[in-house]
């Protein structure tokens, strides 16, 4: 499998492509990373150095890849956090070019906007741009529950309303939706869930909620789910594998006491997920 991954990059720590590439490689996926920023560290520190890469320069890199004659070998275009408005046009153009070369290719979009605790943390124009132009062009999306609500102008809370929100998202384009950070009011205390829905049905998985904020974990989740789903065609299997790998990554990170994801230390959990959590079909 070959994935063209258009995301940010950092020198220190693991977010964007600096979080997604290695786990994908560890499960045998060839990744073509295209960077949208090249920062010293993620912006959660409040200070960072390095450039945002202009949309024209990002487009130029993709054109260079195209000139190597390999777009027909790309199976997936993956995108995450979009720092500025111009990058959306570049991503959508790349998707169109890849699909023209390989009609079987898919576009997986992680529509990063924010979360229920912090609210939106992207540029003001980005949420509407994602909702109105980017998500409708995607085949797979991986929003958290907060982002799902924004994309669909709904308020997902319990399972029924979250499934209804997913259906609203699927109605505008993407056939496959992974909802992360699902926090139902009736769930057992100290747990959190993920929900995967495609044409074949809907599945949910519940894990213990670890007490840490882990920048980049959503990027790992989107990458692994996309790759597993593309490889197997099974949302349930992709959900089980991704949940297992990411939970063990977070557990190791929490046990280390460090702020950054212990991405390399957790590598065996990508290659050989323990599959310790039960996936339940809910529709």
DSSP 95-151: HHHHHHH-TT-EEEE----EETTTEE-S-TTHHHHIIIIIGGG-SEE--BHHHHHHH
**Phi/psi-derived region of residue 140, left when phi > 0, alpha when psi is between -120 and 50, beta in every other case:** beta
CA distance 119 to 133: 21
Which residue, 50, 282, 266, is CA-closest to 167? 282
Q: For residue 57, what pLDDT is reported?
A: 97
Q: For residue 210, what pLDDT is reported?
A: 96
Helix axes 217-232, 17-26, angle to 10 degrees: 40
Mean pLDDT of the chain: 95
* pLDDT value at 96 more than 70: yes
The band of 117, judged by pLDDT with boundaries at 50, 70 and 90, is low
* pLDDT value at 119 more than 70: no
The vertex-150 CA angle with 147 and 154, nearest 5°, equals 115
* pLDDT value at 118 more than 90: no
Which residue, 223, 231, 228, 230, is CA-closest to 279? 228
The band of 116, judged by pLDDT with boundaries at 50, 70 and 90, is low
**Phi/psi-derived region of residue 173, left when phi > 0, alpha when psi is between -120 and 50, beta in every other case:** left
Q: What is the largest CA-CA distance in the chain?
A: 53
CA distance 51 to 41: 11
Please state the φ and ψ torsions of residue 269, each to the nearest 5 degrees: -75, -20
The band of 83, judged by pLDDT with boundaries at 50, 70 and 90, is confident
Using a pLDDT cut of 70, give the percent of the chain over it.
98
């Amino acid at each position: 499998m070959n994935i063209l991954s258009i995301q940010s990059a950092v020198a220190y720590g693991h977010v964007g492509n600096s979080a997604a590439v290695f786990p994908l490689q560890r499960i045998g996926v060839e990744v073509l990373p295209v960077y949208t920023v090249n920062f010293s560290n993620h912006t959660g520190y409040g200070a960072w150095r390095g450039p945002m890469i202009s949309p024209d320069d990002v487009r130029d890199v993709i054109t260079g890849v195209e000139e190597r004659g390999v777009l027909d070998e790309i199976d997936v275009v993956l995108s995450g956090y979009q720092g500025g408005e111009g990058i959306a046009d570049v991503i959508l153009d790349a998707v169109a070019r890849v699909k023209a070369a390989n009609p079987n290719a898919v576009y997986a979009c992680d529509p990063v906007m924010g979360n229920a605790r912090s609210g939106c943390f992207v540029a003001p124009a980005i949420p509407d741009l994602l909702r109105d132009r980017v998500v409708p062009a995607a085949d797979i999306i991986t929003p958290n529950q907060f982002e799902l609500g924004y994309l669909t102008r709904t308020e997902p809370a319990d399972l029924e309303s979250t499934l209804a929100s997913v259906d609203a998202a699927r109605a505008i384009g993407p056939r496959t939706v992974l909802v992360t950070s699902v926090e139902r009011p009736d769930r057992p205390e100290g747990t959190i869930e993920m929900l995967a829905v495609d044409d074949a049905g809907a599945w949910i998985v519940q894990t213990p909620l670890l007490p840490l904020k882990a920048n980049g974990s959503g990027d790992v989740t989107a990458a692994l789910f996309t790759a597993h789903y593309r490889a197997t065609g099974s949302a349930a299997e992709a959900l089980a594998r991704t949940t297992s790998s990411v939970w063990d990554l977070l557990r190791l990170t929490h046990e280390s006491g460090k702020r950054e994801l212990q991405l390399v230390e957790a590598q065996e959990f990508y290659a050989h997920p323990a599959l310790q959590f039960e996936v339940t079909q809910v529709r």
